Chain A
Amino acid sequence: MLQILEGSVAVAEAVKRCKPDVISAYPITPQTHIVERLAEMAADGEVEGEYICVESEFSALSACLGASAAGSRVYSATSAQGLILMAEVCFNVSGMRQPIVMTIANRALGAPLSIWNDQQDSLALRDSGWIQIYAEDVQEATDLHFIAYKVCEDHRVLLPAFVCFDGFILSHTYEPVDIPDQALVDKYLPAFKPYNMLDAKNPLSMGMYATPDYYHEFRYEHEMAMRRSADVLREAGAEFGKIFGRDYSKLVEGYRLEDAEIALIALGSVCGTIKDAIDEMREAGIKVGLLKLRAFRPFPADELKQALQGIKKIAIVEKNLSPGSRMLGAVGLEVKDAINDSSVSVLSYVTGLGGRDIRKQSIHDIVDACREGKGDMFYGLREEIL
């Protein structure tokens, strides 16, 4: 049954149905409504897990790490400055291979201070060793939480995941959303079976140090787990489709790509705007399509290359900036590497930073620039204030 829910509330409803044993988070805009709702649910006994109040994001994820090491299913959520305050703990969580799921309500990083949306926060933690998946709409944001737990806790993977959805654009927007029945969720996502855990009866130290004789191999195994997670994500997405009717077996999703010459590539909610712009451009005879990236880590390079067969020009809608990088954005670098074909032009367009709206006209303009071979640039600069 469809309900009209705010994105954050829908995510909270999804998390509740994942039955976390421990939730710890610190409120930050635009993530606040998720954890407010979960705190209410915990207070009302709707969520049986323990909600640990803390004084910072660093403490929140540290509490989560301890709880996870003790064998709990754990949840957190944050945004922007909160996420980078967690940065040290993020590396510890992934290095210790704890399957924590954390929602990122994507927000720009300061300075200058901005509470509005772009994707700088999660992409800044690109190399933190967490799986990163991005939602286009509220339904997808909801569904990806179930999938994330299933993948993270799989003993072939044992990695944490960011479920990313655009702050305000999705977190504060009301959309019709199907919240799965608890009985079906329980069937899809059984109770967490830890690989190992802190247990007084079977003593174990966790988070040990590794000398140069061992560290290298830890990192190698981390990488292998991340690679394995791609197929586990596909499996879990397919199984989700069978039970709930919404298939997530692909890590990239094409829209009107079949006979396209130009492909736009993006992460997250802007894909919705891009689809509408593509429909208009198609009516005007422009052969353009969209490749939506659902997973950024692991990066689905082979799947992306396959989906882009025959494409001659690629325009990346970048909602992040990698200062000093020739292509300017983190997504473009990955795509260019995956394509690795000099006959295909891959150009980046940094846009929508700090909450600047990306409108259908922006997408038309980007496609025009791409057709003319102009790119690797900021789109929509207000020249008059420079």
Chain B
Amino acid sequence: MALRIGCAAPPGNSRNNRTGSWRTFKPIFDYESCTVCGICQSICPEACINLVDEQYVPDYAFCKGCGMCANECSAASITMILEEK
């Protein structure tokens, strides 16, 4: 009730909305050919690709599977595969 008045939400609340369930195609990263250029991270509209131990890793809890990273990857290291659930 408290937050429903005003359809209100505190800052940072969008982290609770785990949009990964929307995904149909899942980006798979091939780190053999990846040049770690960072285009995938800068293009990701969900800002859910993080640099972990010098590798770009998508956070599948939030990745909606839009495929922009795969489309823009200069080394063609990202493949979108149909995700069976």
Contacts and interface: CB of A to CB of B under 8 A. Distances in A.
A-B complex is real: yes
Nearest to A211: B17
B52 interface: no
Contact of A196 (B6, B11, B13): B6
B4 A204 contact: no
A195 B17 contact: no
Given A211-B17, A221-B1, A203 B7 contact: no
Contacts of B10: 203-205
Interface SS of chain A: loop
Given A211-B17, A221-B1, A204 B6 contact: yes
Contacts of A208: 7-9, 13
A227 to B, nearest CB: 15
A208 B11 CA distance: 11
Contacts of A69: 6
Contacts of B5: 96-97, 158, 195-196
User: What's the interface size class on A, roughly?
Assistant: 20 to 34
Nearest to B22: A211
Interface string A72-96: 0000000000000000000000011
A109 to B, nearest CB: 29
A158 B7 CA distance: 12
A205 B10 CA distance: 6
A197 B5 CA distance: 10
Contact of B7 (A197, A206, A211): A206
A205 B11 contact: yes
A204 B1 CA distance: 15
A218 B7 contact: yes
A98 interface: yes
A95 B8 CA distance: 11
B16 to A, nearest CB: 10
A205 B4 contact: no
A324 interface: no
Interface string B5-49: 111111101000100000000000000000000000000000000
Contacts of A97: 4-6
A192 to B, nearest CB: 14
Contact of B4 (A203, A211, A218): A218
A157 to B, nearest CB: 11
B7 A207 contact: yes
Contacts of B17: 211
Nearest to A158: B5
A218 B8 CA distance: 11
Contacts of B8: 196, 204-206, 208
A98 B54 CA distance: 49
B72 to A, nearest CB: 28
A96 B3 CA distance: 10
A113 interface: no
Given A211-B17, A221-B1, A95 B7 contact: yes
Contacts of A210: 7
A221 B7 CA distance: 11
Interface in A181-205: 195-197, 203-205
Nearest to A205: B9
Nearest to B6: A206
Closest 8 CB pairs of A and B: A206-B6, A97-B5, A195-B5, A206-B8, A208-B9, A208-B7, A203-B11, A204-B8
22 contacts: A69-B6, A95-B7, A96-B5, A96-B6, A97-B6, A98-B6, A195-B5, A195-B6, A196-B6, A196-B8, A203-B10, A203-B11, A205-B9, A205-B13, A206-B6, A207-B6, A208-B8, A208-B9, A208-B13, A210-B7, A211-B17, A217-B4
Given A69-B6, A204-B10, A205-B8, 13 more contacts: A95-B7, A97-B6, A158-B5, A196-B5, A197-B6, A203-B11, A204-B9, A204-B11, A208-B7, A208-B8, A208-B13, A218-B7, A221-B4
